[in-house]
Amino acid sequence: MERKKFVSLMVRYGFYALVIYFFVWSFQKNYFSYLFKETETFVLLTRQHLELVAVSSLLAIAVALPSAVLVTRPRFRQTEWIFTNLANLGQTIPVLAVLALMISILGLGFKTAVFALFIYSVLPIFRNTVAGLNSIDDRLIDAAKGMGMKPHQILFRVELPNAAYSIMAGIRTAIVINVGTAAFAFLIGGGGLGVWIFTGIRLFDNSALLSGAVPVTLLAILADYLLRLLEYVVVPKGTRPSANA
C-alpha cells in the first residue's frame, strides 16, 4: 500500500517538475518576451480572444438550450432523432472546415469568426441537453403530473434541475473547446491569441509561438476549472453522479 502511494506521488511530482522545467526553460530562452515587450498587444489579443469565446458561447447556449427543450417536448418527440443525428453528423465535420466554409459564405472578420465558433459550440450543448432531458425517469414526470404540476412547472422544477449535470457538462465541453478553436479566428481575420501562434509557426518565431500558445492553454484550463466550480453551484446536490454511486 505504502509503495503504491509512493509511486503515485513520484509520478505526480514528476509531472509538476516537467511543467516547472518547461517554464524555466522557456524563460531562459526568452520565449515569453512578447508578453513583456508587447504587453498592450497581449492584453488586446487576450480581450479579443475572450470576446470571441464569450459572444459565441452565449449565443450557442441561447440557441441550443431552447431548441433542445423544444425537440424533447411530446409534440416533437417523433422528430427528435433527426436533430440528434444531424448534431452527431455535424460533430464529425472538422473545426477547421466549419471555419473555412464560413469564409466563403460570410467573408472575413470578427462576425464570421463568432458565427463559426457559435455553430461549432451549439452541437455539444444541444446534444448533452437532449441526452440529459431524455435520461429523466418517466415515472418522475408521471409523479409531477399526478400532483398537478403545469407543463412549465414540470420543466423548470423537475426536468431542467435533474438534467443540469448533463447540460453543464455540455456547456463546459463546448466552452473549453471554444477557447482552443478561437485561436483559428486569426485565419479569418477575427484576431485573438491565434495571431501570435500562427505568426510564430509561419516565421519560425518561438517567442511569438509560446507567447500565444501558453496563454491559450492556460485560458482553456482556467475555463475548465471555473466551469467545474459553477457546475458545483448550479447542479442540485441530489443529482450529481457521485451522489448515486
Q: Residue 206 in contact with residue 131, Cβ under 8 Å?
A: no
Footprint of another protein on residues 200-229 (CB under 8 A)? 200-201, 204, 206, 209-210, 212-214, 216-217, 220-221, 224
- How many residues touch another protein (CB under 8 A)? 75
Residue 192 as a binder of another protein (CB under 8 A): the answer is no
Residue 74 as a binder of another protein (CB under 8 A): the answer is no
Footprint of another protein on residues 108-167 (CB under 8 A)? 137, 139-140, 142-150, 153, 157-158, 161-162, 164
Q: How far is the CB of 57 from another protein (least distance, A)?
A: 15
Q: How far is the CB of 130 from another protein (least distance, A)?
A: 19
Among 17, 58, 62, 89, binds another protein (CB under 8 A): 89
Alpha helices in 33-154 (DSSP H): 33-37, 39-71, 80-92, 95-106, 110-134, 138-146, 151-153
Residue 98 CB contacts under 8 Å (≥ 6 apart), including other chains: 116, 119, 120
Footprint of another protein on residues 7-36 (CB under 8 A)? 7-9, 11-12, 15, 22, 26, 29, 31
Closest CA to 71 of 59, 85, 62, 81: 81
Binding window for another protein (CB under 8 A); candidates: 40-48, 54-62, 122-130, 231-239 = 231-239
Quote the crossing angle between the two packed helices 39-71 and 110-134, to the nearest 10°. Answer: 40
Structure-block grid coordinates of residue 57: 458561447
Question: Is 62 or 94 the residue whose CB approaches another protein more closely?
Answer: 94
Phi, psi at 135, each rounded to 5°: -80, -5
Q: How far is the CB of 198 from another protein (least distance, A)?
A: 8
Q: How far is the CB of 83 from another protein (least distance, A)?
A: 18
Structure-block grid coordinates of residue 193: 491569441
Phi, psi at 71, each rounded to 5°: -75, -15
